[in-house]
Amino acid sequence: MKIILELFGASRDFSEKGHIDFEIPKPILIKDFRKVITDYLNDKFNGNTSFLQIVKNSAFCSEENEIISDNYKITKSQKISIIPPIGGG
Amino acid sequence: MLHTKIIDTQKEQIKISDAEQFIASSKFGANIYFTGTVRNLNDNKEVTGITYDSHDEMVIKSFEEIYNETEQKLNIQDKAVFIEHVKGYVKLGEMSIIIAVACKHRDQAYVLSRYIIEEIKKRTPIWKKEHYINEDSQWLKGNPIKT
């Protein structure tokens, strides 16, 4: 299945496209997907610690615009948003 | 009575006159206008502007949730609330947010206005990238959203 990770805030520095596409062979928990993203960034940016910190401190949001926990299982192709620490106003 | 909108600065301007028009239509007696603007200094760095990023659907959802919960949490039933926040680039001194509220009494209006901005800071998915006079820029550290 294809998971399109939509990037916001500081995570936009991960890709100029505004998203990163992942091909995942089977359903995956958010906590494991977080590891997939970390591995991708480690590989692509030589362990850029600030990028890894962003992933560690981020929440995730489903296509239904709900914040989802680490135990949420992604079972089908969909868009998932990464929500780094926020600060509007 | 609620109005919410995200203003894309590439397409339109955020305007206090829109808030005034909305609040005037509510007929309540106590009105407060809060605006946030880009300030010149942050961490001793001279700021020239901020680029705001936004998860639009989540932002509007959070504005609606904040509005709806004020009935129970603050016990304010009769109110008009106008919330607009920009996304995109905003220059030094320009507005990034307008929160306008109208209630029957001034104590309610002050409490409501303060509550809304504090909750937006805590939970609305908006991000800031500051631009500095030396042409450097950086995303600001924010508050993690609770899951």
User: Nearest to residue B10, comparing CAs of B54, B72, B75, B74?
Assistant: B54
Strand, coil or helix: B136: coil
For residue A56, is pLDDT > 80?
A: yes
Q: Is A18 on the interface with B (CB under 8 A)?
A: no
DSSP structural state of residue B29: S
With CB atoms and an 8 Å threshold, state whether A13 touches B139.
Answer: yes
Domains of chain A: 2-83 (3.10.20.30)
Q: Name the strand (E) or helix (H) holding B70.
A: helix B56-73
Q: How many CB atoms lie within 10 A of CB B53?
A: 21
Q: Is B129 helix (H, G, I), strand (E, B) or coil?
A: strand
Instruction: Write out chain A residues lying below 8 Å of B121, CB-based.
Output: 87-89
Q: Mutate which of B6, B53, B130 to disrupt the A interface (most A C-beta within 10 Å)?
A: B53
Interface A-B: count of C-beta contacts within 8 A: 84
Restricting to A residues 48-87, those with a Cβ less than 8 Å away from any Cβ of B are 57-61, 65, 67-70, 81, 83-87
Q: Which domains does chain B have, with CATH numbers?
A: 2-139 (3.90.1170.40)
Q: Look at residue A75 in the predicted model and tell me its pLDDT.
A: 95
Please report the DSSP string for A3-58 in residue order: EEEE--GGGGGG-TTSEEEEE-SS-EEHHHHHHHHHHHHHHHHTT-HHHHHHHHH-
Q: What band does B118 get if pLDDT is binned at 50, 70 and 90?
A: very high
Secondary element (H or E) of residue B86? strand B79-91
User: A1 pLDDT band (50/70/90 cuts)?
Assistant: very high
Q: How many CB atoms lie within 10 A of CB A5?
A: 21
Supply the pLDDT for residue A22: 97
Q: Are B102 and B46 in contact (CB under 8 A)?
A: no
B7-52, pLDDT tens digit by residue? 999 999 999 999 999 999 998 999 999 999 999 999 899 999 999 9
* Interval A64-86: pLDDT, tens: 999 999 999 999 999 999 999 99
**DSSP conformational letter for B104:** S
Inter-chain residue contact B58 with A83, CB threshold 8 Å: yes
State the pLDDT confidence band at A57, using cuts at 50, 70 and 90: very high
**Contact of B52 with B86, CB cutoff 8 Å:** yes
